[in-house]
Structure 1
Amino acid sequence: MTFTANIVFFFTFLIAIIVPITSQPCNSYRFSKNIKYAACEDLLILESSLHWNYRPSSGVVDVAFNKANAKDSSWVAWAINPSSKGMVGSQSFAVHKNGTIKAYTSPITSYATMLQEGNLSFSIYSLSTSYTNGGIIIFATFQLPPNKTVVNHAWQEGLVSEDGTLKAHSFSCSNLQSYGTIDFISGKVHGILNTVSWGIMMPIGVMMGRYLKVVDGLGSTWFHLHRACQSLAFLIGIVGFGTGLYIGNHSGVHHAPHRCVGITLMCLASAQVLVAVCLRPKKDHKYRIFWNIFHYIVGYATIALAIWNILKGFDILNVCNVWKNSYVGIIISLATIAVILEVITWIWICNKKRVKNSQDHVAIGEQQT
C-alpha cells in the first residue's frame, strides 16, 4: 500500500470511529413486556441507568430507573429537584425490598429524611417496581413542572434493617457523586452532535487540508476530502446549534458563556463557509494571501473555541467524568497525530526541495557543458 493510500485510509478510519464513540450500553437493555423507551442514559455511578419517553405536547414523561446488582434487604431511590440543586427539595421515587418489594413517593424536606411516604409537588400518573435478574427497576409516569425539561436529579441506595427501617446510605465516593442534570428533550443529542461535529470532525477536516495537500499524486483529492468533511461537520453543527437554542428556549435553563460562545462559533463558521465558497480568489491573485490569512485565523479560532465550549458543556450537563475524559483523550490523540504529521510534512517538503535543487544544479551543469 502506497504512502498516499495509507494517509487516506488513516483519515477514513478516524471518521469511522466516531460513531461507536457515541453508542451507550443502556440502549441494549431489554425490558419485560416489550416496553421500549426512546432515550436513555448510563449513569455509571452505582451501576444505574435511566430510560425515558417524553411527550412534548403534554409534558408527561415515562421513566424507568434501573439499579443493577441491588442488595437483599435494601432500598433504592431516584429523585428530581425541579427548583434547585441538592438533596433538600428533591421529589423522590423510592423502593424498599425486605421480603416484599414496594414502590412509593417521598418528598425530601431535610437531610435527616428517612424517605417517609408522601405526595410529590407534581402529578404522578403511575408508579410500580420490579425485581429482575438481581436489579430493581422503578417505573413511573409523571407530569414535569411547566417549562421544565432539564432538571437536577439524584439516585441513591442503602440497606433496610430487620424491623423494616431504612438505614442511611453510605458516604462512599460513589454515593456522594450520584447526582447530575437530566435533559428529557435533547441535551444528550445536543452534546453528541456538537462534540462530533465541532469537536472532532472539524479538527480532522483541518488536518486533511493541512497534511494531504503535500502528498504527491493526490491532485485536488485532498481539497474535496477537506471540503466534504468540513461541510458535513458544519451541517451537523447547525443541527446541534438548533437543539441548543430549543433547549434554552423551552427548558428555562440558560448558561450565558456557553450560549454566547455557541452563537459566536456559528457566526465564525458561517463566515468561513461564505468566504470560502463565494469569495475565494485564484491562487495567483494578489489578494489571495489575505484570503489565506482570514481562512487560517477563523478556522483555528473556531476549533479552539469549539473545544472550550464542548468542555464547558460537559460541566453544564454534569456528565460522568468518563465522557469528558474520553473527549479530552481524543483531542490529545488528534493533537499528537498532528504534531507527528507536521514533522513528517516538513521532512517531506525539505526532501522535495533538496531533490529539486539537485536536479536544477544538474540541469544547469548540463547546459553549461
Structure 2
Amino acid sequence: IAIGFSSDGSMVGSSAIVGWVGSNGGIKQYYLGGTQSSSVEPNKGSLQVLGNTSAALSQSQRIYMAFQLDTTQPQSKLLYAVGPQGQFPSSPEFRLSQHEYKISTRIDYLTGQSGTVQTPYSRLRMSHGVLNMLGWGVLMPIGIIVARYFKQFDPTWFYVHVSIQSGGFILGSVGVVCGLVLNDRINANVAKHKALGIVILVLGCLQVTAFLARPDKVSKVRKYWNWYHHGVGKVLIALAVVNVFYGIHLGNAGNGWNAGFGVVLASLLIVAIVAEFRKWARK
C-alpha cells in the first residue's frame, strides 16, 4: 500500500511512502518521477520521515501502515494506492509494480474533513479520450459498414458514408490535438500512444486526400484506388482500436471504459457479420 503527498493531486512529481508485509516486508520513501516503473525511485523524495517511527503490519486481512513526518504541515492533497497482490519490492532495486487501485483526496488538517481531488486537466483528458473513441473507434467503423453493406441504396449510401467518415475524422483530429496539448502540459511519458495517434491522424489525412483525388468509376486506375482506400481504412481502424484501449490503460480510466468500448465494438462486429452473411446469401 502507498500514500503520496502531492501539490496538485497528480502522481507525477510527488513523494510517497510505500509499505508492504511478508517475509521481507518494509517501508520506503519513493519519488514518483513519472508513470513508468523506472521513473519511480526508491529512497528519494521530499518527505522528512523520522527514524524508528515507521511500521507496516497485516491484521484481519487488512494492511496497516504508520509513519511520522518532520513538517509543520504536509501537503493537503493525498494519493492512496494499492499494489498487485503477491508482488513486493525486493533488493537490490526495490522497484514497484504498477498499482491496481488508486484515489486522490484532499484533507483539511484543521477540521479532519476530506474530499476527492479532481485530476489536473481532467476535462482535457476526458475530451481527448471521448473524441478519439467516438471519432476513430466508433464512427469510422460505422462508415466502413455503410460503404460495404448498403451499396444497394445508391447514391444514398455514398453520402451517408462520406458524412459519417467526415464527422469521425473531425472528432478524431480534434481529439489528437487535445492529446498533444495535454502531453505538453503534463509531460507524460506516453511516447508509444502519441506515436500511434500521429500515425492514425496521418492515415486519416491520406483518406481525405484520396477522396478528393478519387478517379471516375470507368478509370483504369480506379481498381488500384479502391485497394488503397480500403487498405488504409482497415489499418486505420485497427490501429485506432488498439490505441483507444491503450489510452484507457494509460489513463487508468478503469474497467468500465474498457467494457463500454468493447461492447460497442462487439455490437458493430455482430452487425458486420450478419450483413456479410446476407450479402453472400444474395449472390
- Which TM-score band (shorter chain)? 0.5 to 0.7
Provide Cα deviations, 1:297-322, integer angstroms capped at 9, x if missing partner.
Answer: 00000000000000110110011111
Change (3 A) 1:251 1:343: same
Provide Cα deviations, 1:152-182, integer angstroms capped at 9, x if missing partner.
Answer: 94379xxxxxxxxxxxxxxxxxx96234894
Change (3 A) 1:257 1:212: same
How many residues are treated as equivalent by the alignment? Answer: 208
2:141 is the alignment partner of 1:203: yes
What residue number does 2:162 align with?
Answer: 227
Q: 1:81 Cα deviation (Å)? A: 3.2
**C-alpha distance in 1, partners of 2:136/2:149?**
20
Q: 1:248 Cα deviation (Å)? A: 1.0
Change (3 A) 1:345 1:86: farther
**C-alpha distance in 2, partners of 1:251/1:219?**
48
Question: Is 1:193–1:239's contact at 8 Å kept on the other side of the alignment?
Answer: yes
**C-alpha distance in 1, partners of 2:215/2:267?**
34
**C-alpha distance in 2, partners of 1:114/1:176?**
23
Q: 1:252 Cα deviation (Å)? A: 1.1
Residue type of the alignment partner of 2:249 = D
Q: Secondary structure at the match of 2:66?
A: coil
What residue number does 1:252 align with?
Answer: 187
What residue number does 2:11 align with?
Answer: 81
Structure 2 counterpart of 1:316, from 234, 250, 254: 250
What residue number does 2:121 align with?
Answer: 184
Q: 1:254 Cα deviation (Å)? A: 2.8
**C-alpha distance in 2, partners of 1:325/1:108?**
42
Alignment of 1:63-74 (within 5 A): none
What residue number does 2:40 align with?
Answer: none
**C-alpha distance in 1, partners of 2:264/2:15?**
31
**C-alpha distance in 1, partners of 2:263/2:241?**
12
**C-alpha distance in 2, partners of 1:80/1:254?**
14
**C-alpha distance in 1, partners of 2:203/2:259?**
27
Q: Secondary structure at the match of 2:220?
A: coil
Change (3 A) 1:86 1:314: farther
2:261 is the alignment partner of 1:335: no
Q: 1:86 Cα deviation (Å)? A: 6.3
Provide Cα deviations, 1:35-55, integer angstroms capped at 9, x if missing partner.
Answer: xxxxxxxxxxxxxxxxxxxxx
Give the TM-score of the pair, scaled to structure 1.
0.50
Residue type of the alignment partner of 2:74 = L
Unaligned 5+ runs, structure 2: 1-6, 19-28, 31-46, 57-64, 83-98, 105-117
Q: Secondary structure at the match of 1:237?
A: helix
Question: Is 2:81–2:101's contact at 8 Å kept on the other side of the alignment?
Answer: no
Change (3 A) 1:286 1:322: same
**C-alpha distance in 2, partners of 1:327/1:340?**
20
What residue number does 2:41 align with?
Answer: none
What residue number does 1:307 align with?
Answer: 241
Provide Cα deviations, 1:87-129, integer angstroms capped at 9, x if missing partner.
Answer: 5469xxxxxxxxxxxxxxxx796663368785235xx7xxxxx
Q: 1:328 Cα deviation (Å)? A: 1.3
Question: Is 1:194–1:237's contact at 8 Å kept on the other side of the alignment?
Answer: yes
Q: Percent identity?
A: 29
What residue number does 2:176 align with?
Answer: 241
Q: Secondary structure at the match of 1:154?
A: strand
What residue number does 1:120 align with?
Answer: 74
Q: 1:323 Cα deviation (Å)? A: 1.0
Question: Is 2:10–2:120's contact at 8 Å kept on the other side of the alignment?
Answer: no
Change (3 A) 1:288 1:324: same
Change (3 A) 1:212 1:254: same
Alignment of 1:1-369 (within 5 A): 80-83=10-13, 88=18, 112-113=65-66, 119-120=73-74, 153-154=79-80, 177-179=101-103, 182-185=119-122, 186-213=124-151, 215=152, 218-277=153-212, 279-348=213-282, 350=283
Unaligned 5+ runs, structure 1: 1-59, 62-78, 91-106, 125-139, 141-151, 157-174, 351-369
Question: Is 1:209–1:226's contact at 8 Å kept on the other side of the alignment?
Answer: yes
Q: 1:80 Cα deviation (Å)? A: 4.5
Q: 1:227 Cα deviation (Å)? A: 0.2
Change (3 A) 1:288 1:86: farther
**C-alpha distance in 2, partners of 1:344/1:212?**
11
Give the root-mean-square deviation of aligned CA atoms: 3.2
**C-alpha distance in 2, partners of 1:294/1:239?**
25
Residue type of the alignment partner of 2:166 = S
Residue type of the alignment partner of 2:101 = Q
What residue number does 1:100 align with?
Answer: none
Change (3 A) 1:246 1:83: same
Higher gyration radius (CA):
1
**C-alpha distance in 1, partners of 2:210/2:238?**
20
Q: 1:346 Cα deviation (Å)? A: 1.5
